[in-house]
Amino acid sequence: MAEDTPQLGTRERILRTASLLMQRQGYEGTGIKQVSQEAGATLGSVYHFFPGGKQALAVAAVQHADQEFADMLSASLSGEADPAKAVAACARALAGHLRDSGWVDGCPISATALETVGRAPEIEQAVAQAFQHWRDLVADTLREAGFPEDDARDLAITIINTLEGAELTAQVFKSETPLLVAGEHLARLIGSYRG
């Protein structure tokens, strides 16, 4: 675990560590003791900042990951004028990042999502908000490029879904191919609405 810059506040360090560990190990696989140790904090501090316990920590970690991923998404999407090219570039960026991490840093919240769906409503809601947030960023990009409202909304749904699935598959196969192919297919799909 990378030591975070020491001038970071304790709460922030706990949050980042929890978010990273839950990305890699999921909700059930991540212990509060492990979070406190790798964050360089004590167990008491964790419960001081997150009195709601593990669930509250997970909600905050998901929200933190939401913002981080949204920032990366925005940067990727604004790099190209053509949204089809922008989405393909985004897929390539995700593939590179995944490979650089040794195939462990995929979607920051999908493991937690799958473990808690239908079983921990507060976490589930935070996950839904994140997905909706990312969708909206994509839909906005499409709308600004001139796509009609309905097409933009539907395309945004599929774009996020497909990247999600491709990232999972890329992790399992330890290969960039699923993400790269997904990027090209999504560009093709977007292009098919242009004609």
What are the residues binding DNA (CB under 7 A)?
10, 30-34, 41-45, 47-49, 51, 53-55
**Closest approach of its own copies to the CB of residue 140, in Å:** 18
Q: Give contact residues for its own copies (rule: CB under 8 A).
A: 24-29, 102-104, 106, 110-111, 113-115, 117-119, 124, 127-128, 131, 154-155, 157-158, 160-166, 168-169, 171-173, 177-178, 181-182, 184-185, 188-189, 192
63 binds, among its own copies, DNA, none (CB under 5 to 8 A by kind): none
Look up residue 160 and give its two tokens: 């996020």
123 binds, among its own copies, DNA, none (CB under 5 to 8 A by kind): none
- Residue of 88, 85, 79 whose CA lies nearest to 162: 88
Look up residue 122 and give its two tokens: 């507060």
Q: Which ranges of the chain would DSSP assign to H, the alpha helix?
A: 10-25, 32-38, 43-49, 53-77, 83-100, 110-116, 121-144, 149-173, 177-191
